[in-house]
């Protein structure tokens, strides 16, 4: 099971018109602790940011599934709220369990298609409650060292 942390990186960036602007960007990192998340995001960002940068915030993200895409156009991440539907045998009522998933896609339609494709392996009933674009720039799952 993955343990996701949303990390906020702050740095100064030169804009297209030559001005220097302070930028905050969000990234998602798979780590065991806040300390490891900070260490991992610093290592991931070093090749992409010249100059100084800081980790301005880390918070736990409750993500149950991640559906990345191989499509080069899929450059956005969408947060999907899904309810698993089960029947309580004793009470005879429907129970809804909410989970959050992330889907990588180019647009909202692609996110819906990616979510439906990712959920094909799920055998039970489910209901899609919402799909919203996130501010995540990238996602870094854990990869074992070789």
CATH of the domain at 19: 3.10.20
pLDDT of res. 140: 93
Average pLDDT, consecutive stretches of 10 residues, N- to C-terminus, the chain (146 residues): 91 86 93 94 89 92 94 94 90 90 96 95 92 95 75
Global pTM reads: 0.87
Which structural domain, as residue segments, surrounds residue 125?
63-134
Q: Which of 62, 53, 70 is nearest to 98 (CA)?
A: 62
- Burial label for 10, CB within 10 Å (0-12, 13-18, 19+), is middle
Q: How many domains does the chain have?
A: 2
- 86 lies in the same domain as 129: yes
pLDDT of res. 123: 87
pLDDT of res. 137: 94
Convert the pLDDT of each residue in 92-122 to its tens digit: 888 999 999 999 999 999 999 999 999 998 8
- 56 lies in the same domain as 68: no
pLDDT of res. 146: 55
Q: CA–CA distance from 74 to each of 24, 67, 68 (Å)?
A: 22, 11, 9
- 69 lies in the same domain as 53: no
- 23 lies in the same domain as 82: no
- 67 lies in the same domain as 57: no
Residue 122 falls inside a structural domain: yes
3-state helix, strand, coil in the chain (%, to 5): 20, 50, 30
Domain limit, last residue, from 43, 61, 79: 61
- 55 lies in the same domain as 71: no
pLDDT of res. 6: 97
Handedness of CA 42, 45, 51, 56 (dihedral sign): negative
- 73 lies in the same domain as 124: yes
pLDDT of res. 1: 64
Handedness of CA 56, 3, 94, 110 (dihedral sign): positive
- 47 lies in the same domain as 88: no
Residue 87 falls inside a structural domain: yes
pLDDT of res. 20: 87
């Amino acid at each position: 099971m993955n343990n996701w942390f949303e990390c906020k990186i702050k740095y100064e960036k030169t804009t297209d018109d030559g001005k220097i602007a302070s930028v905050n960007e969000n990234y998602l990192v798979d780590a065991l602790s806040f300390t490891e998340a900070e260490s991992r995001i610093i290592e991931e960002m070093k090749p992409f940011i010249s100059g100084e940068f800081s980790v301005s915030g880390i918070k736990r993200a409750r993500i149950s599934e991640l559906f990345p895409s191989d499509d080069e156009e899929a450059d956005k991440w969408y947060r999907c709220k899904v309810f698993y539907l089960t029947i309580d045998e004793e009470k005879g009522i429907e129970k809804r369990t909410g989970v959050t998933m992330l889907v990588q896609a180019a647009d909202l339609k692609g996110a819906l298609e990616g979510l439906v494709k990712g959920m094909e392996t799920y055998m039970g009933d489910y209901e899609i409650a919402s799909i919203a674009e996130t501010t995540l720039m990238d996602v870094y799952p854990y990869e074992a060292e070789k």
